[in-house]
Amino acid sequence: MKNSTVKTAIVTGASRGIGKAIAIKLAANGYQVVVNYANSEAEAQRVVAQIEQAGGIAIAVQADVSKIQQFENLFDMAEKTYGPVDVLINNAGVSKLSPIADSDDDLFDYLFNINVRGTVNGLKLAAKRLSQGGRIVNFSSTAVATSTPGMGLYVGTKAAVEAITKVFVKELRGRQITVNMIAPGLIQSEMFFEGKTAAQIAQMEKLSPLERFGSVDEVADAVAYLVSEDAGWVNGLLIRVNGGVA
C-alpha cells in the first residue's frame, strides 16, 4: 500500500548475507523495503515473510543489477508499490578468488559487470529518481586496503566503486542526497566462506584485534546509521566495518 509518509528503501542483493540483514534492519526501523534478488527467489520471499511476521512492510523484486533495463524495472516496481524511493543500498556484489595471472575474460566481465556496472546503473537511476533528501550507500570491501593476493580483480571492482562514488557525491550537488560507502571485512556470509579452506578460515578469525569475525547485523547497523536523520551531514564517507583489521 502507498504511504508517502513512510520512507521507501531498495536493497539490492537482499536474498541473503549482508543485504538480507540490511533489509530486515531497515524494515524494523520503519522503512518500506524492496528486497531485490537476481536468482534466489525463494530466499528473497523468505526475507519478505520474516519482515512481515515482525510487522514490517516489504516486497521481493527480481532484477539483475548489471542490466539497466532490469534495474529500471526495479525502480518502477518500487514506485508503483510504495511511491517515490528515498534510499538505495547498492549492496549486490559477487566475488571469486583467482590470482591475476590465472584470470580470464569471463571472470573479468563477471566481476566488473555486477560490481561496477551494477552499482553505476543504480547511481544513474537514483540521480534521476531518488527523492530530494534521499540516501545512497555503495559497497566496497576492506580488501581494497589489505591488497589480499587472489582478490586482484575483485579489489579492482571495489576500488572503481570507491573512485566513482567520490565523483558522484559532487555531481549530486543541489539534490540534498547523501552518498556514502561501507567497506566490510571478515563478515560471516556465504561470500566470505566461498573458496576458502577450513585452515584459512581458522587463521583469518584471529586477524582482527577483536579476534573474531563480524556479523552481517553489524554491517546493517552501520548502514542504518548512514541512512538515518542523524547522518544528515555525513556525505562521501567510507566506513570500514571490519573490526579494525585495516
Residues annotated as catalytic (active site), given as ranges: 154
Residue 192 Cα distances to 12, 74, 177, angstroms: 18, 27, 31
Q: What angle do CA 47, 39, 103 make, to 5 degrees?
A: 125
Task: Using CB under 6 A, list all residues that contact ligand NAP.
Answer: 12-19, 36-40, 64-66, 91-95, 114, 118, 139, 141-142, 184-187, 189-192
Least CB distance to ligand NAP at residue 204 (A): 10
- The least distance separating ligand NAP from the CB of residue 139, rounded to whole angstroms, comes to 4
| Three-state SS sequence of 57-96 | EEEEEECCCCCHHHHHHHHHHHHHHHCCCCEEEECCCCCC
Nearest approach, Cβ of 5 to ligand NAP (angstroms)? Answer: 29
CA dist 98 and 87 (Å) reads 34
Residues 6+ apart with CB under 8 A from 237: 180, 181, 226
- Cβ proximity to ligand NAP: between 179 and 187 the closer is 187
Q: Which is nearer to ligand NAP, 6 or 40 (CB)?
A: 40
**C-alpha cell read off for 240:** 570500514
Q: Which residue has the cell 520471499?
A: 45
Whether 165 contacts 147, CB under 8 Å: no
The residues facing 69 across adjacent strands are none
Closest contact distance (angstroms) between CB of 65 and ligand NAP is: 4
